[in-house]
Structures are given as C-alpha cells and as structure tokens.
Amino acid sequence: MTERYTEFTTPGSLDIRAITTFGMSAKPCTRSPIGQFGTGLKYAIAVILRHGGQVEMNIDGVEYVLYTKSDSFRGAEFSHVRMKRRSGLLSKWQYESLPFTTELGKHWKLWQAFRELQSNTLDENGSTSVHSSTQTPSPLVSGQTVIRVIGEGFAEIAEGEESVFLQESRAVLYEGERDLQILEGESQHLYYRGIRVCDLEKPSRHTYNFLTDMTLTEDRTLASQWTAAYCVVSQLSRYDCPEGVIRTAVAARDSWESTIDWDYASERVKRVARDMHYEGDDVIPKLQPPAHYYNQVSRSTVTLSDVRDEIDEIRESIRKQSVLSEDELDTLRNSLESLSDKIGEALD
C-alpha cells in the first residue's frame, strides 16, 4: 500500500446484497437513518473507483475486493464494477460482476462518497479512522464489517470531515422548537441533521442545520432550496429569536440570506432591519424600507426625545393651569405616558 487508507468499522455483518442489489435499505440501529434509498453504498463504490481509489472489505471474516474491468456497450467504453471474494489466504478467489459501472453517480464528487460511507457508519454505531500506508490493515474478524478505502484524496476528506459533517464544537445561537439550529459562523453549505446537503453560491452569515423533515434527492442533496430558505425566515421570525441573531442574518448584502425571499418575515424582523438602516448599517436590499417610508422627513429632525420633551411641556402646563384633582391628574399622566410609548413604537 503506497497511499493512506480510511477504515469504516461497524459491528455485525454487512449483507452483501447491499452492494449487489438496488433499492434495499434497512437500518435497525436507528429510527431516523441518514441513508434511505438503498443506493448509497453502490454509489460510493462507483465514485471512489472512478476517482482512482481502491475499495476492500472484510465482512465476518470474508475478504472482498472491488475493482473495474473495461467493457463496451453500443460502441461506448465503460468501466464495469466487479467483485472478488475469498474466505482466507489459502482460499481461491471467486469473481462476480456487479450490476453497475463507474458511471453510477456520474456527477458525484469524492466528498459525497465519503458522506455515504460515514453516514452508514454512524447509522450502524461504528467508527472511522485514517491510517498511514505503513500501518497494517485491520485483520479479518468474525461479527464485524470493515470497509477500507485506499486513496490519499479520500483520506484528506476524511480528516477534514467538518466540511461534510457539522462538528459539535460550533456554538448554537438559537434553536427554537428544534426545527432548525442556527449556529455561529459563516458557511458555504446548508446541513440536514448535521450532514452537508447543499452548496451555496454565496456564503451564509450563519450556519444552518435543519432538524425538521426535509426532502432529499437520491444524491442526498436538498430537493428544494426554497423550502430551506422559508424555514430560515420562519425561525428568525419567532418571537424569542435573539435580536443579535436577526441583525447578523440581515446585515450583509452579498450573502446567501440576501438572495432569499423575505416576504414571509415577521414585522419584528422588518423592524430590526429598519432600525439598522436608520443607524446607517448595511441591510440586505429586500428588507430596506422604501424611500417614501420616511415621508420626506429626516430622522435627525424628529426624534423620540423631541416628542417626549413636548409631552413634558404639556404635562407641566396642565399642572400649572388645571384645577383637576390628583387622581384625575394621575389618569391624565398615565394617558400621556401611554401615548408616548405608542409614538415611540411608531418611530422605532
């Protein structure tokens, strides 16, 4: 072995039909499996082999090696995926052709193959490790499955798995009713239950991890980015979402948040955006108030302080000129205070 290799180790024996048959998916170790289509392992094998990697497996003491053989179909050349197996070093290899080529998952990248194998490992309560080329691979063990991927590029992805799987070290800024986690830090990706499912053209101001059910395509990416955006706006619109979280989300013009639809945002979110605009901060264009909102009056000419000064003058005038009783004066004062608060809310 001249390149580093990555091992995915899980308890129990992998049913070899997970490789030889499409559409079979069962994850008894979890009620909410990451993989659901019965295709992920086959896709991962095809993608790894297409990128020049090697795949070996030890399943319940039986050794398997996945490889390719050139084939032609209607004048086109394909790399057909094949498998050989043996039950021990002294046993003869048995050969088998698998029902797919390296064209399976034609547009998948290598990180997506890692995501599939790591997802399966997590679903089965297993572990993942990266080894140098000089380390001895894990021995054949009964009652255990080891999938070994040989390839430097794959090992680098496994070591930097935080780009594929969210790390627990990220601080959660807001979670609401566990529909969506809003985490600190910008991101080029959206995550679903901790797994990367969408690459963004522009970085998001926060990192978003969706916990509610989301529809995924067979390549495990979001079927609808609009649904994700709606969920983000709804979460930010909740009454208990911290204002600082809202301010960060609506602040940048050149961000993923600036591309989504804010028509469904709450009045509170829109008010926070107006306040920021008044204060001279950048706000994404879709949340900037229209020019006529100011009624041609600059904020510097009419302030809440000015209004309250006038109310104080009226209150003092009433005190000097009125013959009202103390109780009546208190009622009037309370009315003026209420009016002051309403004017303040309107100005804000």
Are 208 and 187 in contact by the 8 Å Cβ rule? The answer is yes
Q: Is 195 helix (H, G, I), strand (E, B) or coil?
A: strand
CA–CA distance from 305 to each of 141, 281, 310, 341 (Å)? 78, 22, 9, 12
On whether the pTM is more than 0.75, the answer is no
Dmax over CA atoms of the chain, in Å, equals: 113
**What residue segments make up the domains of the chain, in order of their start?**
5-163, 172-294
Residue by residue, pLDDT tens for the chain (348 residues) are 678 999 999 999 999 988 988 765 555 555 555 444 458 899 999 999 999 999 999 998 899 999 999 988 888 899 999 999 999 888 999 999 999 999 998 889 999 999 999 988 988 899 999 999 888 877 777 889 999 999 999 999 999 877 789 887 889 999 987 789 999 999 999 999 899 999 999 999 999 999 988 888 878 889 999 999 999 999 999 989 999 999 999 997 789 999 999 998 999 999 999 889 888 888 888 888 776 565 544 444 555 555 666 666 666 666 665 566 667 666 766 676 666 666 666 555
**Residues 211/181, Cβ–Cβ less than 8 Å:** yes
Euclidean distance between CA atoms 44 and 56, whole angstroms: 13
CA distance 179 to 220: 19
- CB atoms near residue 186 (< 10 Å): 15
> Phi/psi of residue 129, each to 5°?
-150, 150
- Rounded-to-integer distance, Cα 275 and Cα 131, Å: 54
User: Is 298 buried (19+), middle (13-18) or exposed (0-12) by CB count in 10 A?
Assistant: exposed
Q: Which residues contact 29 (CB under 8 A, 6 or more apart)?
A: 123, 124, 125
Evaluated on CA atoms 287, 293, 296, 298, the torsion sign reads negative
